[in-house]
Structure 1
Amino acid sequence: MTHYAIANLTNVRVGAGIVEYLERIDATLAPYDGHFIVHGNPPEHLEGEWAGALVVIEFPSYEAARGWYDSPAYQEILPLRTNNSDGVTMIVEGVDRDHVATDVLA
């Protein structure tokens, strides 16, 4: 099942650390078939308030998503992000294309 690494980053301090992180992250994703599907573009606010930059990375499985996050290559660059931004990160499971809203009631 597809899984997503999601981050809502706030107070991003763009400088040498963030630039290096961005230059190196793609190489950490490749071995786990991870790719960006949302990467910080400003949202159109329809309801409520939102602060931060949303990042969503798709992986083919939980094992791939967790393997990427725990990998030595990613752990090496992680402080470049965490020392230069605030926010929350998580891994969530996706749903099949035939999912309907009432499936959560089961």
Structure 2
Amino acid sequence: MEKDVEKLIIQLQMLNQQLQSVLVQKQTLMLHNTEIDHAMEEIKDNTGKVFSIIGPVLIEKEKKSVKQDLNERKEETELRIKTLEKQEKMLKDKIKELQEKFKEMQSALGTAE
């Protein structure tokens, strides 16, 4: 029974690490989304030249093309965020389930002694 408890603790630790990784990825994507929003706001009323960075090079592009690129990137990041949110929920549910199982095992060990 104690070996089962140890396995459960290891499983919980691994799930918590996975959850932390998912949360960091989600936060990074949300920050990226905010940057895209700022860029879209900047070019919204711009009547001058619009530039885009491609690798280490800054090139002039049509405003319409830049807006389209930004919209595509925003859609892509939002989709990735939704995927990460699903993973986050799944991991949290599994962690909660294992925590309850851990409490049951602790109770069983406590009454067995």
Q: TM-score when scaled to structure 2?
A: 0.27
Q: TM-score when scaled to structure 1?
A: 0.29
The structure with the larger Rg is 2
1 or 2 for the larger relative contact order (CA 8 Å, sep ≥6)? Answer: 1
Name the structure with the higher helix share.
2
